[in-house]
Amino acid sequence: MIGPRTLVVYHTSDVHARLGFGKLVARMAEPESLVVDCGDALRGSSTVFARAEPVAAEFAEASYRAGAVGNREFHYVHKLFAARARMLPMPLVCSNLIDLRGRTPPFVRELRVRCNGVRVRLLAALVPQYRTGSGWEKIFGWRFLAPEAALREFFNGDPEVTILLSHLGLDADRRVAAAFPQLSAIVGGHSHETLERVESVSGVPIAHAGPYARQLGRLELSVPEGAGKAQLSSFRLLPLLSANGPGA
């Protein structure tokens, strides 16, 4: 009888253009682990654009597989949003944002990857910048969906694990977990909170590693063969950057 498999997820959030963490993450993350970021990696904002984002090299060095769209990845102007996406070495994911004008999207709404033999669906959610149906939709062409409404359409198909990269904040993550107990895990940010231990809501583990690349979250899931939901095996925070530079 084949036993459960292990999926290890390393995650950061709200890096805010800090430098020096890439080589540390690369050293810590074992082969076949999944390394992701939960948004606000860059130094720009939804209205301010920087022509260079040196932090992109950090994500490349650590072989990140995906990044959630945060406030600092999103830009109201499509061509600037697209330029940011081209700077980053990993695909951007945002499940609750729709382009009403049919332009080439700078992100995907879901991303499917395979890690250590496990089929993984990555979803992501950005805190809405304005309400669905707002007059701003006609100006910018972006429609923000309430996360709970957006996520309903994605729970189909065959992935064994579904992980939400959340840029909603911890309180919203709790509500999403309560609404979608079929999620395997939520790794999140935006509210700049650090959870020393995983929270569990409706059986969904929620992990926040905190801002500024000071720590790296390591979430380990046990994934059964065949039917059955992945279960949390362990979680810990690993030191990255101190206030004075890279951690030990």
**Residue 185, strand partner residues:** 163
Nearest in space to 51 (alpha carbons), one of 98, 14, 83, 94: 83
pLDDT at 245 over 60: no
User: What integer pLDDT is reported at residue 1 of this predicted model?
Assistant: 43
Q: What is the pLDDT confidence band of residue 2, given thresholds at 50, 70 and 90?
A: low
Q: Can you read off the two tokens belonging to residue 21?
A: 């963490």
pLDDT of 10 reads 98
Which pLDDT value is given to residue 243? Answer: 55
How many alpha carbons fall within 13 Å on the CB side of residue 146?
Answer: 8
Q: Looking at residue 113, which CATH number applies to its domain?
A: 3.60.21.10
Residue 248 predicted with pLDDT over 60: no
- Strand 97-99 to 215-223 pairing: unpaired
What's the pLDDT tens digit per position in 211-230?
A: 999 999 999 999 998 778 99
Q: What is the pLDDT of residues 18-68, one digit of tens each?
A: 999 999 999 999 999 999 999 999 998 999 999 999 999 999 999 999 999
- The mean pLDDT value of the chain amounts to 94
Residues 58 and 96: their CA atoms lie apart, in Å, by 27
Give the model confidence (pLDDT) of 145-190 as tens digits.
999 999 999 987 778 999 999 999 999 999 999 999 999 999 999 9
The C-alpha torsion from 127 through 133 and 134 to 136, rounded to 10°, is: 90
Q: What is the largest CA-CA distance in the chain?
A: 58
Its domain, for residue 167, covers: 5-246
Instruction: Please give the tally of structural domains in the chain.
Output: 1
Percent of the chain whose pLDDT exceeds 90: 92
Q: Which amino acid is at 121?
A: R
Alpha-carbon distance of 70 to 73, in angstroms, equals 5
Say if CB 211 and CB 197 are below 8 A apart: no
Q: By the 8 A CB rule, do 11 and 64 touch?
A: no
